[in-house]
Structure 1
Amino acid sequence: MAYAVELPADTDLEFTTNELTGALGDSVTVLPLLVALGATTTVSLPHVLVGFGVFQIVWGVYYGLPLSVEPMKALIGLAIVGTLPDAELAAAGLLAGGVLLTVGQLGLVGRLQRVVGEPVIRGVQLAVALLLLEAAIDLSLDNPPVAVAGLAVVGLLALVGYRGASVLVVLGLGGVVAVATAGAPTPTVPTLAVFPAGPPSISAAALEGTVAQLGMTIGNAAIATALLCGDLYDREISADTLSTSMGITCLAAVPFGGVPMCHGSGGLAGKYAFGARTGGANVLLGVGYLALALVAAGAVLAAFPMAILGVLLVVVALELARAAFEPVADARSLAVVAGVGVVGLAINVGVAFALGTVVFWVLSRQRE
């Protein structure tokens, strides 16, 4: 069977200040999870960053859009809390990649998109926004004075029309603090190895984690992201195409020490909020991740003040929440959006997606 993804009509790349600040808008949804993963597991953070760098560039060039490349949050979260050891995380990533590639090629995601209904998809966007806001608060509580200072900088620059520049300023200050705390890093090139943390191991936890992740990925990373591409960039990219590219990413990256990755509406909204309009943002961010991989084995990244990233996550969460509510007009659809968002925050995005689909189907039948 020959696998393919549809070639977008416009693949222009730009390398401007807006593309750079937009690229950093995506990194604030990625770096906190990766730092936590590197600090709590034996996963090689340099190898993980290489995977992110390579596929940021690959999909940015291919799609010509600042498409997000993010960790699969359910699987990474289970790994961080110790439920999913490294070998089982790798197995879950390969399983998820295989499923996403298959359903994308068979056109099943697009069919699901037509069944689910737009309010449910918007609700998934809201759920992700609320989760990002929750993470932002947790990160900010790590150092409230630093968070307050960061918010002041972002707010001041936004008031004078330089919201994108606030990313560079705030992250630059955080970098200075990290270097002052840990010292200048010594660059080290990550070694090329197949399954550097050991061969994958399929377990009940890996299977459960994969099912939970697929519910989130299909709702947020495929369907909601496809919708957001149209909302923000006026580009029609099918959910099946996004599912295929996510499957390729996981199957190619995980064997070489990468972690399960997906696209995501949160990262796409973050890039847009901070100015990115083309795939050039992905190229710039990918180069940045590859450079960071050279020093990630040291203590500098771990010393970066997480409260700074929490401040920037607030901006991303607000942009995504706005995108979730803005096109919704009638009260019934608003109720579905809000309900899916709250359930996603309280329980799980996958559960919210499934329940929202059932509720939307019932409401649709009542209208007939």
Structure 2
Amino acid sequence: MNLQPYRDTLSYNLNTFRQHYVSEIAGSLGDLGTFLPIAIALAVNDTISLSSTLIFSGIFNILTGLFFGIPLPVQPMKAIAAVAIAQHFSHGSIAAAGIFVGACILIFSITGILEWFARVIPIPVIKGIQIGAGLSLIIASCGQMLSRLGWLHPSWADNRLWAIVAFVLLLGSNIYRRVPYALALFVVGLVFAIIRSALAADLPSLAFWRPFVVIPTPSEWLHGITSAGVGQIPLTTLNSIVAVVHLAVDLLPETRPPAITSIGLSVAAMNLVGCWFGAMPVCHGSGGLAAQYRFGARSGASVVILGGLKLVIGVFLGESLVGLLKRFPSALLGVMVIAAGLELLSVGESLNTTGARDLSKLTHGMTGELMENIGPMLSEEDRKRRWTVMMVTVGLLVGFKNDAIGFVAGMLCHWAYQLPEVVQKLRARWQEGRVQLS
């Protein structure tokens, strides 16, 4: 076995950290704006084990940083998280969804289906699932967290006034992109929660992690797979595997680019291990890689640092953090979840531009060489069709609160638009055959 690539990766991590340790530490926090609000929302709903999530995601951060040598994030599976928050999933249901996706990605990776699957699913359907997941997060936040707030209640630290302030700052963060908005908001909310916990004499204490195993019931398997698991598969395949490989080549051309199969096996392993212990289903997302890169991360050292921090907190504080997080202001948490949802909504912007992967042409595979981005011209009719397919996926997903229904509806709409062309080709072939027979 050739260990030289891994020695090179370790050397690159160490050298980068020595030369740019401030940037690496700052960059390691770039993706917490997505990870924290979703993890907190799921933990407060008693859908996941917070300690298991911190421990396993920390271990996965460390391993991916050491193995791949790039700031590869460990993110929540957003489509599953959106449904789980909206429907108050049990431990078994969300575990079933994550294990199902992990098993499918494992099969796709070892059989070579993964690359074929990435080519077959149309981009408008993928973007529809992403946008639908983002809308589901926003709707769940507004309906379950923010709508219950009054102008001055339920407390001085949690009311509509704080929600308005947080939302105004969120709008400002769109202008000043380098400001770690979500992290700053989390720190403020954590301070408020600590003060409220101290007043109630209920601060977190030293509590070692006590592992437990989650065994989904048959009904939880069915519910988790059909409501969230099926719809997460194309999103994970395209956004968390294929897109992250392309983005790594773009952002970090000097590093060894990860292979699609390697990323797929990593996603599969994380969920086939962690979900059995109540951890949140996770993946590697292109948005998280972009966020960590934007805040300064350039090597795997950044996520190794983040993973170590998660691991220590998860092992020594454990579930005692849940009481603290339950006092985390809903006003701030709700706006943080909205921010995560808006990040997903933004992907629809590139549907009909060369930013969409099916409208661009690469001059190579995953070699890290220069790429050409040549997009075909779309007619007005093509633009409308792509938009319609995406919005059918979004509408049915949000309307039924079910990713699988949205995915199937989007595929049916896509195939319906392809039907006249297929019929025309079949008719032409039949006519050619008839002419040959005569």
Q: TM-score range by the shorter chain?
A: 0.7 to 0.9
Structure 1 residue aligned with 2:178: 163
Does 1:222 pair with 2:241? yes
Name the CA shift for 1:45/1:314 in 2 (closer, same or farther; >3 Å). Answer: closer
Q: Structure 2: state its 5+ residue gaps.
A: 150-158, 357-374, 398-402, 426-438
Say if 1:19 and 1:281, in contact at 8 Å, map to a contact too: yes
SS at match of 2:216: coil
Superposed CA deviations along residues 98-144 of structure 1, whole A, max 9, x for unmatched, are 22112111111112223346666566666566666666766676654
Letter in 2 for 1:187: L
Letter in 2 for 1:176: V
Does 1:62 pair with 2:67? yes
Does 1:211 pair with 2:237? no
Structure 1 residue aligned with 2:262: 241
Deviation at 1:223, TM superposition (A): 3.2
1:30-45 matches, cutoff 5 A: 30-41=35-46, 43-45=48-50
Deviation at 1:94, TM superposition (A): 2.8
1:25 pairs, out of 21, 30, 34, with 30
Q: Aligned equivalents of 1:362 and 1:10: distance in 2?
A: 49
Structure 1 residue aligned with 2:366: none
1:290 pairs, out of 289, 308, 311, with 311
Structure 1 residue aligned with 2:298: 277
Structure 2 residue aligned with 1:49: 54
Q: Aligned equivalents of 1:302 and 1:312: distance in 2?
A: 20
Q: Aligned equivalents of 1:110 and 1:100: distance in 2?
A: 11
Name the CA shift for 1:106/1:271 in 2 (closer, same or farther; >3 Å). Answer: same
Deviation at 1:55, TM superposition (A): 1.1
Name the CA shift for 1:323/1:308 in 2 (closer, same or farther; >3 Å). Answer: same
Does 1:313 pair with 2:340? yes
Letter in 1 for 2:320: A
Letter in 2 for 1:260: P
Structure 2 residue aligned with 1:268: 289
Paired-residue identity, %: 27
Q: Aligned equivalents of 2:26 and 2:392: distance in 1?
A: 32
Does 1:327 pair with 2:348? no
Say if 1:122 and 1:224, in contact at 8 Å, map to a contact too: no
Name the CA shift for 1:336/1:180 in 2 (closer, same or farther; >3 Å). Answer: farther
Name the CA shift for 1:129/1:10 in 2 (closer, same or farther; >3 Å). Answer: farther
1:87 pairs, out of 85, 92, 96, with 92
Alignment root-mean-square deviation, CA: 4.1
Most deviating of 103-112 and 36-45: 36-45
Name the CA shift for 1:362/1:18 in 2 (closer, same or farther; >3 Å). Answer: farther
Higher relative CO (Cα under 8 Å, sequence separation at least 6) belongs to: 1
Letter in 2 for 1:281: S
Say if 1:126 and 1:337, in contact at 8 Å, map to a contact too: no
The higher radius of gyration belongs to 2
Q: Aligned equivalents of 1:270 and 1:140: distance in 2?
A: 26
Q: Aligned equivalents of 1:140 and 1:211: distance in 2?
A: 29
For normalisation by structure 2, the TM-score amounts to: 0.66
Letter in 2 for 1:185: P
Does 1:251 pair with 2:272? yes
Q: Structure 1: state its 5+ residue gaps.
A: 1-5
Deviation at 1:343, TM superposition (A): 3.9
Most deviating of 172-181 and 341-350: 341-350
Name the CA shift for 1:278/1:125 in 2 (closer, same or farther; >3 Å). Answer: farther
SS at match of 1:58: helix
1:187 pairs, out of 188, 206, 210, with 206
1:119-158 matches, cutoff 5 A: 143-153=159-169
Deviation at 1:26, TM superposition (A): 1.9
